[in-house]
Amino acid sequence: MAFKYALCSEVFSSPLDETIASIAEAGFDGIEIAPFNAGESVEDVGSVERALLRQQAADAGLEIVGLHWLLVSPPGLHLTTEDSSVRKATTSYLQALAQFCSDLGGKVMIFGSPKQRNLAEGDDPREGFERAAGVLREAGRTCEDLGVQLLLEALSPMETNFIQTIEQALELRDAIDSPGIGYMLDCKAMSSMPEGIEGTILRHGKAAGHFHANQPDGKGPGMGETEFEPILSALRESGYQGWVSTEPFDYKPDPMTVARAALNTLREAAGS
């Protein structure tokens, strides 16, 4: 199977139309959009602007894969808080994001947003779990109706205290029991998991809805010591069918160099 490669939009700190052009110039097949790159709230992005973004990507030869960093803005959103009014606002915004994603032609929404999901000090973990499930259950219905899937991203203990392993993500997914909710895999996060990156991929890759390629230290592929040939080999062996999307957190020496190094590294590792 030949992989398709995407890049996350925040790598280029530019308006989305310029970012689309840059990602296409770098040679990627798709773009994964951070909603805050479109506006503080996607509810302020009108139908004309949405259609234009979709057309700009198509004209550049890019597919819009979906969204990530879902709850960075607007401020005040949170998944596990005991404040029911905040959870209601969070549910509503996730539903708005699902509509935005669908309007752009995207199919996946990556739920990372560690600060907006952390359990507060003293919170009962089970109660936090149930509160999260309630929010995501409602959002999942909207996703299902729109043909979008919200994917839970397990993150390392250094980033969050809520959903740190794929098994915990699966427990939450199964509690929600909606086709609109799934899970994804991220190299940086998997490096802290018991079976490591390749072992976690082999166990959970087949049913994963998305995949993030990055170094354990947050740099992009090709900018550190991690070899991606065994990672992509495990991904292929697992039966994974989705995108390979680069999500670096370090853009030095410059975004285009990071983008091109990532794509070249991944293509060489995959033998394509």
pLDDT, tens digit, 9 for 90 and up, residues 139-192: 999 999 999 999 999 999 999 999 999 999 999 999 999 999 999 999 999 999
The helix/strand/coil state of 256 is helix
The Cα-based distances of 215 to 38, 172, 200 in angstroms read 27, 26, 15
Question: Is 0.95 topped by the overall pTM?
Answer: yes
Residues of 115-146 as b/e, b for ≥16 C-beta within 10 angstroms? ebbbbeeebeeeebbebbbbbbbbbbbbbbeb
Q: Which domain holds residue 12?
A: 5-270
Provide the percentage of residues in the chain whose pLDDT is more than 90.
Answer: 98
Number of domains forming the structure of the chain:
1
Given a cut of 90, whether residue 79 has pLDDT beyond it is yes
Extract the tokens encoding 60: 């550049």
3-state helix, strand, coil in the chain (%, to 5): 45, 10, 40
Mean pLDDT for the chain overall: 97
* Torsion region of 193: left, alpha or beta (phi above 0 gives left; psi -120 to 50 gives alpha): beta
Angle between helices 125-146 and 84-104 (to 10 degrees): 30
Tell me, what CATH number does 125's domain have?
3.20.20.150
- What was the pLDDT predicted at 1? 66
Over residues 50-60, the mean pLDDT reads 98
Bridge partner list, 126:
none
Q: Which has the closest alpha carbon to 107: 134, 144, 53, 136?
A: 144
Averaged over 74-101, what is the pLDDT? 98
Distances in Å between the Cα of 204 and the Cα atoms of 6, 149, 170, 200, 214 are: 21, 17, 10, 6, 18
The strand pair at 244-246 and 211-213 is best described as parallel
Beta bridge partners of 246: 7, 213
Q: Tell me the CA distances in angstroms from 174 to 152, 177, 179, 183, one per residue in order.
A: 11, 5, 10, 11
Residue 121 pLDDT level (bands cut at 50, 70, 90): very high
Rounded mean pLDDT, 48-58: 98
On the 0-12 / 13-18 / 19+ scale of CB atoms within 10 A, 216 is: middle
The percent of residues in the chain predicted with pLDDT above 70, rounded, is 100
End-to-end Cα separation, the chain, in angstroms: 10
The average pLDDT across 220-238 equals 96
Q: How does residue 247 score in pLDDT terms, banded at 50, 70 and 90?
A: very high
Q: Between these two residues, 13 and 131, which has the higher pLDDT value?
A: 131
For the residues 194-212, what does the mean pLDDT come to?
Answer: 98
Average pLDDT, integer, range 59-83? 98
C-alpha closest to that of 32 among 70, 71, 69, 68: 68
- In DSSP terms, 108 is beta-bridged to 66, 149
Q: For residue 212, is pLDDT > 90?
A: yes
Quickly list H helices, 105-254. Answer: 125-146, 166-176, 187-190, 196-204, 229-238
**pLDDT score recorded for residue 13:** 87
pLDDT at 147 (0 to 100): 97
